[in-house]
């Protein structure tokens, strides 16, 4: 039977509800571990307890540790695929981090749960089973890092958490899932067309993400300029525009050679340099602001961080966002 390595990192999928306080909390032991026997008929499963963190506690440092664990396992033994159990709040960021940093074709699947292990309708074990089946599927090879929840398969690049509590929270706005899971089969109906990776050994850079809003002042951008950030992503308005009041801050960052990437706070469509008015995307492009081809704010931030952290140091900020 093919070997699938399940790496636990924490999240609601590994938590339980304390019925006295009503709070969902992590416990001393992972409730998933006692369920693994049920999944053994699908694959030869080996478990690694990497962390037991709620996912808001995850940082790029833990993401890098996960990348190193996966690469070490690949170097040591033959593995059909990996499943990472993860909290849903930052799951899409860990997925995209691994997608941008791991070169292997072996399936790497992230999954989680919206209801903890002892709640009615708990979705964790079911999602874990689905993820193991996808990790073991021939058709998942070479598709990059994937997210499996609620019978759907999404790419790391496009997936995002869309609901605070619904079990169908993970969606890929504008693109949709690339596959579906039924009782008997794994169906892929799309394939990602390119997979770029960077060579990252450590993460020392700092990249900020700021959401733009009507009436925004320049002081937040000045703070970024004065506090040694290595880059900024602005989640701009509409097609990619900002209020005129923050343009001097953008100019200040440009003068300090701090790259700025502009995405849209709309979750459909792609930010592009269209408008020529003060603060419009065309003016921003002429000032040197980069565009991220439809990535969300949090994904563009990770891409800039990872691109700037490439140990070969061959990527200029504009080369990182070429595609
Ligand atoms: N459903 C979840 O996993 C949410 C939880 N707060 C986490 O991300 O760890």
CATH code, 146: 3.40.50.1170
Same domain, yes or no, for 74 and 122?
Answer: yes
Predicted pLDDT of residue 110: 98
Do 151 and 15 sit in the same domain of this protein?
Answer: yes
Ligand 1 atom with the shortest distance to the CA of 10: 9
CATH number of the structural domain spanning residue 309: 3.40.50.40
Question: Which residues contact residue 26 at a Cβ distance below 8 angstroms, ignoring those fewer than 6 apart?
Answer: 10, 14, 15, 52, 54
Query: Measuring from atom 3 of ligand 1, which residue has the nearest CA?
Result: 87
Dump pLDDT digits (tens) for 135-174.
999 999 999 999 999 999 999 999 999 999 999 999 999 9
Residue 32 and residue 112 in one domain? yes
Question: Is 34 assigned to a binding site?
Answer: no
- Mean pLDDT of all residues in 180-184: 97
Same domain, 220 and 301: yes
Per-residue pLDDT tens for 202-261? Answer: 999 999 999 999 999 999 999 999 998 999 999 999 999 999 999 999 999 999 999 999
Residue 202 lies in a domain: no
Q: In which domain, by residue range, is 297 found?
A: 207-320
Q: Tell me the pLDDT band of 274, cut-offs 50, 70 and 90.
A: very high
Q: Across residues 308-322, what is the average pLDDT?
A: 90
> Domain for residue 59, yes or no?
yes
Do 126 and 260 lie in one domain? The reply is no
Same domain, 182 and 287: no
* pLDDT (0 to 100) of residue 118: 95
Answer yes or no: is 55 a known binding residue: yes
Token pair in block for residue 38:
């049920």
For ligand 1, the distance from its centroid to the CA atom of residue 6, given in whole angstroms, is 18
Show the ligand 1 pocket: residues with CB < 6 angstroms.
11-12, 54-55, 87-89, 112-114
List Cβ neighbours of 294 (8 Å cut-off, separation of 6 or more): 174, 263, 269, 270, 271
pLDDT band for position 26 (cuts 50, 70, 90): very high
Q: Which two tokens stand for residue 303?
A: 């891409």
Say whether 88 counts as a known binding-site residue.
yes
Tell me: do 55 and 98 sit in the same domain.
yes
Judge whether 43 and 2 are in contact, CB under 8 Å: yes
Which of 188, 221, 244 terminates a domain? The answer is 188
Q: Report yes or no on 201 lying in a domain.
A: no
pLDDT at 194: 86
Residue 36 counted as domain residue: yes
Same domain as 309, residue 230:
yes
3-state DSSP helix/strand/coil percent for the chain, to nearest 5? 30, 20, 50
Task: Grade residue 39 by pLDDT with cuts at 50, 70 and 90.
Answer: very high
Whole-number pLDDT of residue 313: 77
Pocket test for ligand 1, best of 8, 51, 85, 89 (most atoms within 8 A of CB): 89
Do residues 26 and 157 both lie within one domain?
Answer: yes
Q: What is the pLDDT of residue 57?
A: 98
304/224 same-domain check: yes
- Annotated active-site residue 88? The verdict is yes
- 140 domain residue, yes or no: yes
The whole-model pTM stands at 0.97
Measured from the Cα of 112, ligand 1's closest atom is 3
Domain finish residue from 188, 219, 241: 188
Give the closest residue to 210 by CA, choosing from 229, 192, 195. 229
Q: How many domains does the chain have?
A: 2
314 assigned to active site = no
d(CA 39, CA 23): 29
| 243 in the same domain as 141 | no
- Mean pLDDT for all residues in the chain: 96
Q: Is residue 168 a part of any domain in this protein?
A: yes
In a domain, 183, yes or no: yes
Set 9, 59, 65, 88: catalytic member? 88
Please check whether residues 228 and 88 belong to one and the same domain. no
């Amino acid at each position: 039977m093919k070997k699938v390595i399940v790496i636990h990192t924490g999240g609601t999928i590994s938590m339980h509800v304390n019925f006295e306080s009503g709070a969902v909390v992590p416990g001393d032991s992972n409730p998933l571990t006692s369920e693994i026997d049920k999944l053994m008929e699908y694959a030869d499963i080996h478990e690694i307890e990497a962390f037991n963190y709620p996912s808001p506690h995850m940082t790029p440092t833990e993401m890098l540790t996960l990348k190193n664990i996966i690469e070490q396992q690949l170097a040591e033994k033959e593995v059909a695929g990996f499943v990472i159990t993860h909290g849903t709040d930052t799951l899409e960021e860990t997925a995209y981090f691994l997608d941008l940093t791991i070169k292997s074709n072996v399936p790497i699947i992230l999954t989680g749960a919206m209801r903890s292990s002892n709640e009615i309708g708990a979705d964790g074990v079911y999602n874990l089973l689905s993820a193991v089946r996808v990790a073991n599927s021939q058709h998942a090879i070479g598709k990059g890092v994937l997210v499996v929840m609620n019978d759907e398969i999404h790419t790391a690049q496009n997936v995002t958490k869309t609901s605070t509590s619904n079990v169908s929270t993970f969606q890929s706005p504008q693109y949709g899932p690339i596959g579906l899971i039924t009782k008997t089969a794994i169906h892929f109906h799309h394939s990602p067309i390119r997979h770029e990776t960077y060579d990252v050994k450590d993460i020392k850079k700092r990249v900020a993400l700021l959401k733009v809003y009507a009436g925004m002042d320049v002081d937040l951008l000045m703070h970024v300029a004065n506090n040694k950030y290595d880059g900024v992503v602005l989640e701009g308005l509409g097609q990619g525009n900002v209020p005129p009041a923050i343009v001097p801050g953008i100019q200040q960052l440009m003068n300090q050679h701090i790259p700025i990437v502009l995405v849209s706070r709309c979750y459909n469509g792609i930010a592009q340099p269209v408008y020529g008015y003060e603060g419009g995307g065309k003016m921003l492009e002429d000032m040197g602001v980069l565009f991220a081809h439809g990535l969300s704010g949090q994904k563009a931030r990770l891409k800039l961080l990872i691109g700037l952290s490439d140990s070969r140091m061959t990527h200029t900020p504009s080369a990182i966002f070429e595609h």
